[in-house]
Chain A
């Protein structure tokens, strides 16, 4: 079971949430100008990262709000959450797409958030503790 830090409600069990896949896929601003390949890329192609990943979740059995989560898809380590419309902490962006390091070490560039707000980050933006979750 994953423990997911909803930016509004705090740590809750995975079973309260719905998954929304890869985060930050922007709908093309000028759809008329798009080629079929560009549509395919927007609609279907995904990073499917093995390692640190930014993804969307919805707190379906709670506040019912969408938010973004940073999680390692290989280890299930949850790094933190931030609200829709807010920028991901820079450290998260740096790490996206990089392979996870072996032995459960924190990937380079990742700041593991411990207990409440992290430095230079609004309190609500990065929620609560990173933790190893064995599911």
Chain B
């Protein structure tokens, strides 16, 4: 792998950027691997990278039905943070945030991690108390988090409207200074390039159409490019988790929904942090290009169409107007949707299954981008050792029978 550095950039510029080598190979699928990862989003690519890097398993294929990184990884609003209420989630997301902090150096790819601070607003007395409770719990877990009053919130984000005459006035906020954003595509590409360098085959345009089993042991997958064998198969397919699990005869507690986002026309820098509001339900940040990146909640109905309905967008834009009247004349440039896999307790499933050698990593729903490196880290461990890492032990499939749910609905600061 050609190492990217300041020097390589300069020498690249000197030759007109014509001699950059391919970032990852385009191999033909082999007949058999030790591990097959289905799904070439950030989570699947991270899993493959850590399988090779941390566990020395390099006969690994990542099978992706399209080009890598164009699922939810390339469609999300890139917010990263770890201020989750329950211990199980806090530890998992914090591991991920820590991995994000060293990611660019580790995979030798600029993932543009920008820890600009994430504000979660409180609009009612109840909101405020809940938020204080959450901040205390988060701090007990050793994660940075603080409570701001309305004036301090305004000082942190000067364009925010804190007028008491609002329908839902801003009473305060929690702030995680280590939260922020990262470049979504770069996360996928960085992991892909680093995994490829360790010998992982990244096979694009290869859709998995069936899971092969011999009794209760997985033996491989059927694909649009033929049968590929492996004693271990991990699925990391986000919105299609139920579909792939169905191929192995499993029913899951997951439902798939459209989740939309939109960006405005580019403007000069006006907001240098991330602002989220659970109550009026919208969140916003500004990209390096100057576009406002805006999102909120899912469309209520089940949907695999990667598109949602206009009322959902109208709702989040009216919330945005109340918080930021300054945006009222702004035009919106693009709108899109991904298909997110939501779980009843708003927590992921990273688990072994009743089918031996068949592993599931899904149910991240609306908030899994921030978990990309951590998810890959624990899933690689689960597959390599055939038992969960302590960080994902609570996120097993059987929690829905035992009742030990990790209920982050409402407990997380906002949907993302």
What bracket does the count of chain B residues touching chain A fall in?
A: 20 to 34
Instruction: Please name all residues of chain B whose beta carbon is closer than 8 Å to the beta carbon of A45 when the two chains form the complex.
Output: 251-253, 400
- Whether B375 is near chain A, meaning CB under 8 Å from some CB there, is no
| Contact residues, B242-273 vs A (CB, 8 A) | 242-243, 251-256
- Whether B401 is near chain A, meaning CB under 8 Å from some CB there, is yes
Q: Which residue of B lies closest to A76 (CB)?
A: B305
Instruction: Please name all residues of chain B whose beta carbon is closer than 8 Å to the beta carbon of A55 when the two chains form the complex.
Output: 301-302
Q: Which residue of B lies closest to A51 (CB)?
A: B304
Q: Is A19 within 8 A of B401, CB to CB?
A: no
Instruction: Please name all residues of chain A whose beta carbon is closer than 8 Å to the beta carbon of B300 when the two chains form the complex.
Output: 18-19
Q: Choose the segment among B7-15, B39-47, B105-113, B307-315 that binds chain A (4+ C-beta atoms closer than 8 Å).
A: B307-315
Q: Is A21 within 8 A of B305, CB to CB?
A: no
Q: Is A73 within 8 A of B304, CB to CB?
A: yes
Instruction: Please name all residues of chain B whose beta carbon is closer than 8 Å to the beta carbon of A46 when the two chains form the complex.
Output: 242, 251-255
Q: Is B400 within 8 A of A19, CB to CB?
A: no
Instruction: Please name all residues of chain B whose beta carbon is closer than 8 Å to the beta carbon of A76 when the two chains form the complex.
Output: 303, 305, 307
Q: Is B402 within 8 A of A135, CB to CB?
A: no
Question: Which one, B251, B299, B305, contacts A74 given CB within 8 A?
Answer: B305
In the bound assembly, the distance between CA atoms of A132 and B366 in angstroms comes to 27
Q: Are A44 and B253 CB-contacts (below 8 A) given A2-B309, A76-B303?
A: yes
Q: Is A44 within 8 A of B400, CB to CB?
A: yes
- Whether A64 is near chain B, meaning CB under 8 Å from some CB there, is no
Q: Is A1 within 8 A of B309, CB to CB?
A: yes
Instruction: Please name all residues of chain A whose beta carbon is closer than 8 Å to the beta carbon of B305 when the two chains form the complex.
Output: 73-76, 135
| Contact residues, B402-416 vs A (CB, 8 A) | 402-403
What bracket does the count of chain A residues touching chain B fall in?
A: 20 to 34
Q: Are A135 and B310 CB-contacts (below 8 A) given A18-B300, A73-B304?
A: yes
In the bound assembly, the distance between CA atoms of A40 and B308 in angstroms comes to 30
Q: Is A50 within 8 A of B256, CB to CB?
A: yes
Q: Is B242 within 8 A of A48, CB to CB?
A: yes
- Whether B344 is near chain A, meaning CB under 8 Å from some CB there, is yes
**Nearest chain B CB to A37 CB, angstrom units:** 5
- Whether A53 is near chain B, meaning CB under 8 Å from some CB there, is yes
| Contact residues, B99-150 vs A (CB, 8 A) | none
Instruction: Please name all residues of chain A whose beta carbon is closer than 8 Å to the beta carbon of B240 when the two chains form the complex.
Output: 50
Instruction: Please name all residues of chain B whose beta carbon is closer than 8 Å to the beta carbon of A135 when the two chains form the complex.
Output: 299, 305, 307-310
Q: Which residue of A lies closest to B309 (CB)?
A: A135
**Nearest chain A CB to B339 CB, angstrom units:** 9
Q: Is B301 within 8 A of A40, CB to CB?
A: no
Instruction: Please name all residues of chain B whose beta carbon is closer than 8 Å to the beta carbon of A44 when the two chains form the complex.
Output: 253, 344, 400
| Contact residues, A30-50 vs B (CB, 8 A) | 36-37, 39-41, 43-50
Q: Is B255 within 8 A of A48, CB to CB?
A: yes
Instruction: Please name all residues of chain B whose beta carbon is closer than 8 Å to the beta carbon of A74 when the two chains form the complex.
Output: 304-305
Q: Which residue of B lies closest to A53 (CB)?
A: B302
**Nearest chain B CB to A40 CB, angstrom units:** 4
**Nearest chain B CB to A17 CB, angstrom units:** 9
| Contact residues, B306-329 vs A (CB, 8 A) | 307-311
| Contact residues, A66-112 vs B (CB, 8 A) | 71, 73-76
**Nearest chain B CB to A98 CB, angstrom units:** 12
Q: Is B401 within 8 A of A37, CB to CB?
A: yes
| A14, A44, A49: most-surrounded residue (chain B CB, <10 A) | A44
In the bound assembly, the distance between CA atoms of A1 and B303 in angstroms comes to 13
In the bound assembly, the distance between CA atoms of A43 and B403 in angstroms comes to 11
Q: Are A14 and B401 CB-contacts (below 8 A) given A21-B255, A50-B240?
A: no
Question: Which one, B302, B311, B344, contacts A48 given CB within 8 A?
Answer: B302
Q: What 6 A-B pairs have minimum CB-CB distances, sorted nearest first? A: A44-B253, A48-B242, A19-B300, A40-B401, A45-B251, A135-B309
- Complex A-B: 18 CB contacts under 8 Å: A15-B309, A18-B300, A19-B301, A21-B255, A22-B302, A37-B401, A39-B401, A43-B400, A44-B253, A48-B255, A48-B256, A48-B302, A73-B303, A73-B305, A75-B305, A76-B303, A134-B307, A135-B310
| Given pairs A47-B242, A48-B254, 19 additional interface contacts (CB within 8 A) | A15-B311, A19-B301, A21-B255, A21-B302, A22-B302, A36-B402, A36-B403, A40-B253, A41-B251, A44-B253, A44-B344, A46-B242, A46-B254, A46-B255, A48-B243, A49-B302, A71-B301, A135-B307, A135-B309
Residues of chain B at the chain A interface (Cβ within 8 Å): 240, 242-243, 251-256, 299-305, 307-311, 344, 400-403
